[in-house]
Amino acid sequence: MAAASSSTKFIFPPSISSSSPSSSSHRSRSKLLLAFLSPTAATASPLSLTLSRSRSHYGRAPRRSLIVTDALKSAESTETSASKSRSAGRGGAGSAEDGPTILVSEKLGEAGLEVLRGYGRLECLYDLSPEELCKKISSVDALIVRSGTKVTRQVFEAAKGRLKVVGRAGVGIDNVDLQAATEHGCLVVNAPTANTVAAAEHGIALLAAMARNVAQADASIKAGKWERSKYVGVSLVGKTLAVMGFGKVGSEVARRAKGLGMTVIAHDPYAPADRARAMGVELVSFDQAIATADFLSLHMPLTPTTSKIFNDNTFSKMKKGVRIVNVARGGVIDEDALVRALDSGIVAQAALDVFTKEPPPSDSKLVQHPNVTVTPHLGASTKEAQEGVAIEIAEAVVGALNGELAATAVNAPMVPPDVLSELAPYVVLAEKLGRLAVQLVAGGKGIQSVRVIYRSARDTDDLDTRLLRAMITKGIIEPISASFINLVNADYTAKQKGLRIVEERVSVDASPESPVDSIQVKICNVESKFASAVTESGEISIEGKVKDGIPRLTCVGSFGVDVSLEGNLLLCRQVDQPGMIGHVGNILGERNVNVSFMTVGRTVRRRQAIMAIGVDEEPNKETLQKIGEVPAIEEFVFLNL
């Protein structure tokens, strides 16, 4: 595969251009599912795309990916809908009362309500039951909620296509069914920045209150007691605070803790090291953070990776007498394990604003523990933050109703069906490569630079890589982040996390029928859990292709492999000698771990090789340890795809 030429472009971030208007014949035959028109394409009607979880047509397990299931389905004119959308925009004829109907189902700051009143017909109906919401929703164009309203699939179905945007006044969107929103053509936006300072201030307030037993002493005096000796506290100055999650809130907490005379370290796989250094904060690994800290302040998102990450095993690695503050998400802590750690003295005190279940049970052992200070999810509860969130979400909703592509969008926009149809298998490949690459990263330095190399026989202008780049970003960021990545917000989110994406196009002698011959992802300036994935230039490098419609991993570092990118993957670097496949296979078989495929790649005969093994189940710790004890195996890593 000889490269004829290459070009490099720096994407950080590009302007997001709208897709070209569809033809009139398409407009008359398309079904309105994803109606996101940009201002420069106001005359275009969107084409029908359904983005969903689906089984591969090759009969394999479900894939979490974007696929085209209905590119140009039944004839249904969208001229009326498009016309209404255009006339509803600012500058059109008519008053705000003639504009779109906006339903606010939970209390919102007055400043935000004023923005909405100036744009459309505002209705504030609080405490609606699910049945009442479903009955009302078919007559509104936009819905604004906080955390109490559940926007379920039933709500989107009841909207009958009229609901264009759901705004979540806050960060978390656990109460909105994103998949259903996408399928029904509804954009979902949130307000992720306005409550940053409020949450950080509450974290510091809990930190100080916990250290000085403020809540317990207050309750004691109100009970008629005077127990000065019982409530002797600890000083913050000179103590080490580990900030777990160095994003917007975490960095603000660190800034304030430095002002209190604390030594601050942080763990975050995406935090730029130079930004941390500028604040006098050292980035460290997760294990180093929990082993070093006198105080832990949690600011991690709740994802499958972080769910109950603070558990019996984690607590056993901490300093005896550590103190923990959590103003992030309750689910990152195993609450039963925290009670055990408090009882044993490993954790001296905890201050919690969030819980796995909210409100927590009144008889909760954790809430009632004498060494625990609790508040009812007050992190964003300041007048200033509430007004800021109200304005932020109101402006995002108005922008969405105007057809603008919002940077705070959390689900997918309209993509031309011909592009999505052609790129569908490569979309899966791109996300899987990103997901695989991030799992190979080790250490606390964080990912700052990624190179993506597309090898293609097509001309430079004949391949739109925005979607592929978005999916690589999605694969890298989503496994350990609360962010939801799509074509709209991929570059914005990458920039917010300090992630620089560089794309290169390399021309090759291959079939021009395929848009891409291969995709290579390189992560620069990081350590790797699997040294064989690192090239001579010091980059983690993986490469993949689509073969017969199936995304496959074709290269790890300098080793060629050929494995399907699905399920679980075990990579082993070994001495190239007979019997290795059978040896490892026997270990897995004895422990009832089914092998779905196996391949071996090597550089020089009888020297080193990489064995790639696909397994249906996740091997337990003992099984992995047994594989690692095989003398000829030099290193291995388990990856979940």
Active site (annotated) includes residue 53:
no
> Which is the catalytic residue, given 329, 455, 505, 573?
329
Distance CA 72, CA 91 (A): 32
Beta carbons of 68 and 87 less than 8 angstroms apart: no
Active site (annotated) includes residue 384:
no
In the sheet where 165-168 sits, what is the strand order? 121-124, 101-104, 142-145, 165-168, 187-190
Cβ neighbourhood burial of 183 (10 Å; 0-12, 13-18, 19+): buried
Q: Which of 9, 147, 2 lies closest to 464, judged by CA?
A: 9
> Which is the catalytic residue, given 377, 451, 591, 602?
377
- What is the residue-wise DSSP string for 338-363? HHHHHHHTSEEEEEES--SSSSPPTT
Is the C-alpha dihedral spanning 604, 605, 607, 610 positive or negative? positive
Distance CA 148, CA 62 (A): 31
State how far the alpha carbon of 69 is from the alpha carbons of 30, 52, 91, 177, in Å.
14, 8, 37, 19
Using H for helix, E for strand and C for coil, what is the string for 37-59? CCHHHCCCCCCCCCCCCEECCCC
CB atoms inside a 10 Å sphere around CB 186: 29
Tokens of residue 193, six digits: 């920045």
Residues with Cβ within 8 Å of residue 304, at least 6 apart in sequence: 479
Q: Are strands 449-456 and 518-524 parallel, antiparallel or unpaired?
A: antiparallel
Distance CA 36, CA 403 (A): 6
> Which is the catalytic residue, given 358, 384, 590, 618?
358
CA angle 341, 372, 226 (to 5 degrees): 125
Beta carbons of 151 and 176 less than 8 angstroms apart: yes
115-123, long-range: CB < 8 A, 24+ apart: 115/391, 115/394, 115/395, 115/398, 116/144, 116/394, 116/397, 116/398, 119/90, 119/398, 119/401, 120/88, 120/96, 120/401, 121/96, 121/97
Active site (annotated) includes residue 377:
yes
CA 524 to chain centre: 21
The helix (H) or strand (E) run that includes residue 474 is helix 466-477
Which residues are tagged catalytic? 329, 358, 377
